[in-house]
Amino acid sequence: MLLAGCGGRTGTETSGDEGSGGGSSSAASAEFGDLGEICQDGDASAASAQGVTAEQIEVGVFTDMGFTKNPEFVDAANVFTSWCNDNGGINGRTLVANTRDAKLMEPRQRMIEACREDFVLVGGGAALDGLGVKERLNCLLPTFTAQTVQEAAAGADLEISASPAKIPGYDNYAGFREWAVNEAYPDSKSAVGMINGDSAVTKVVGAVTQETLESLGATVVYNELYPAMGVSDWTPYAQAIKSKGVRGLIFMGSFDQLAKLEEVLTNMDYKLDWIDANNNAYNEQFIELLGRSAEFQNNLVDLSGMAPLESDEPAVEQLKELYAQYAPDAQITLPAMRAWSSWLLFAKAAAACGDELTRACVYETARTETAWTGGGLHAPSDLQTPMPPKSCFNIEKATADGWGTADFNPDSGLYRCDIPARKITQDFGVPLTLAAVGKSMSDVQ
């Protein structure tokens, strides 16, 4: 998760008129998926809040692009604002996306900047997001986040995750774990291995994963850390995996490092029953890096209720068309799809608020959604009552020809939702609240 794709601020503003693809003079339909019209002309006249004038709405987009070199959140912002502004903006107001590049270590500094300029935050994320939550709540800044990572940020006050998200106190991958060790590959239950990047963030993920596995009766026979910046020779790790007889492997870290590890395992002719590659690996680059391991090994990812890019869902097809029009060189990733759902939610709520667009109105309006799917991009999210979470999962399998759907027995369209998210017993901290900074919802204007 530390190396998960996050978007980027370079100290510049990017409006929808300056998207990655240069915008377009021929606007695509203002409707998206099953949501109907998202953006529209209008006659807004009020400067109703910070970042909101009669002409425009300024929002912030968090990213770690300066560290990860991954522009997925910025690309999503550019595509959405380009499309929306071509269709009139929000009641006639132009959307302007201010990129806030935390560069991994600077989320607090970027949050202070956002507090001075932005109306809300939309469609972004940062690996060390917990470091900026106190500042965000102090300035009463809502966030429509694409992803949360640290415990202080996930589920914090004034935070809305439009797509299926990390829920504090729960392991949302419990369904995938149970399916793997109890249904699909029961022989692996007595020999599960874990290998994890050596960072504070991913160590928490590893501890949660081990607790879930043990609760399922699985035996973890190998649990190792590797340097978060990578390994030059994966041979010692591969030899240890083989000597321990690992049959199911959970890898938490960068997909390029996993590809290197698998190359060694495959050359040793050691085939695991399954490998959880984590959904950061859900991209074309990983398939290419795998080489012959794409067929020899069994790489799986849990998309956690997001529609596969290979599906024929109308919303997915429409998203591809919009990227082709506004940012043809950009890649649609899983985090980018989450960001798009957040942008849609924000735009719909902001439009409903009309001329008197305020933080309180857009936040409370968005929270009324009880089955939000981003127009068909993901399983339903209850934004009014997010806890306890309804956890849906869907499994993709890597092949030499690309990603395809695994046989995981879906029971709700593309998804399987019959295994609840598991409540964890360890204490990793709690989400930050307005009360913790001496504020309340009545202060939000």
Cis amide prior to 328 (ω within 30 degrees): no
Say if CB 280 and CB 2 are below 8 A apart.
Answer: no
pTM for this model (two decimals):
0.92
- Parse the chain into domains and list their residue ranges: 13-168+311-385, 173-303+392-423
Q: What is the mean pLDDT of the chain?
A: 92
- What are the tokens at 351? 């439009």
Q: Which of 265, 226, 230 is nearest to 244 (CA)?
A: 265
- The confidence score (pLDDT) of residue 4 equals 39
- The confidence score (pLDDT) of residue 26 equals 57
Beta bridge partners of 252: 196
- The confidence score (pLDDT) of residue 138 equals 98
Give the pLDDT confidence of 302-342 residue by residue, as tens digits: 999 999 999 999 999 999 999 999 999 999 999 999 999 99
Measured distance CA(194)–CA(220) in Å, rounded: 7
- What are the tokens at 413? 């369209």
Alpha-carbon distance values, 273 to 250, 276, 295 (Å):
11, 10, 12
- The confidence score (pLDDT) of residue 391 equals 86
CATH class of 13-168+311-385: alpha beta
Mind listing the pLDDT tens digit of every residue in the chain (445 residues)? 334 333 333 333 443 333 333 444 456 899 999 999 999 999 999 999 999 999 999 999 999 999 999 999 999 999 999 999 999 999 999 999 999 999 999 999 999 999 999 999 999 999 999 999 999 999 999 999 999 989 899 999 999 999 988 888 899 899 999 999 999 999 999 999 999 988 877 788 899 999 999 999 999 999 999 998 899 999 999 999 999 999 999 999 899 999 999 999 999 999 999 999 999 999 999 999 999 999 999 999 999 999 999 999 999 999 999 999 999 999 999 999 999 999 999 999 999 999 999 999 999 999 999 999 999 999 999 999 988 888 899 999 999 999 999 999 999 999 999 998 899 998 888 899 999 999 999 999 9
Burial class (CB in 10 A: 0-12, 13-18, 19+), 399: middle
- What are the tokens at 339? 């960001």
Give the pLDDT confidence of 68-117 residue by residue, as tens digits: 999 999 999 999 999 999 999 999 999 999 999 999 999 999 999 999 99
**Residue 104, by phi and psi: left (phi above 0), alpha (psi -120 to 50) or beta?**
left
3-state helix/strand/coil string of the chain: CCCCCCECCCCCEEEHHHCCCCCCCCCCCCECCCCCECCCCCCCCCCCECCECCCEEEEEEEECHHHHCCCHHHHHHHHHHHHHHHCCCECCEEEEEEEEECCCCCHHHHHHHHHHHCCCEECCCCCCHHHHHHHHHHCCCCEEECCCCCCCCCCCCCEEECCCCCCCCEECCHHHHHHHHHHHCHHHCCCEEEEEECCHHHHHHHHHHHHHHHHCCCCEEEEEEECCCCCCCCHHHHHHHHHCCCCEEEEECCHHHHHHHHHHHHHCCCCCCEEECCHHHCCHHHHHHHCCHHHHCCEEEECCCECCCCCCCHHHHHHHHHHHHHCCCCCCCHHHHHHHHHHHHHHHHHHHHCCCCCHHHHHHHHCCCCCECCCCCECCECCCCCCCCCCCECEEEEECCEEEECCCCCCECCEECCCCCEECCCCCCCCCCCHHHCCCHHHCC
Backbone phi, psi, residue 307, to 5°: -65, 135
**Residue 21, by phi and psi: left (phi above 0), alpha (psi -120 to 50) or beta?**
alpha
- Provide the greatest CA pair distance for the chain: 70
63-78 as b/e: b if 16+ CB within 10 A: bbbbbbebbbbbbbbb
Query: What kind of fold does domain 173-303+392-423 have according to CATH?
Result: Rossmann fold (3.40.50)
Backbone phi, psi, residue 326, to 5°: -100, -20
47-62 as b/e: b if 16+ CB within 10 A: ebbbbbeeebbbbbbb
Q: Is 13-168+311-385's fold the same as 173-303+392-423's?
A: yes
Q: Which amino acid is at 411?
A: D
- The confidence score (pLDDT) of residue 428 equals 84
Sheet containing 121-122: which strands, arranged edge to edge?
13-15, 94-101, 56-63, 121-122, 143-145, 159-161
- The confidence score (pLDDT) of residue 15 equals 37
Give the pLDDT confidence of 116-143 residue by residue, as tens digits: 999 999 999 999 999 999 999 999 999 9
3-state helix/strand/coil string of 140-174: CCCEEECCCCCCCCCCCCCEEECCCCCCCCEECCH
Measured distance CA(151)–CA(205) in Å, rounded: 11
- The confidence score (pLDDT) of residue 9 equals 30
CB count within 10 Å of CB 391 equals: 25
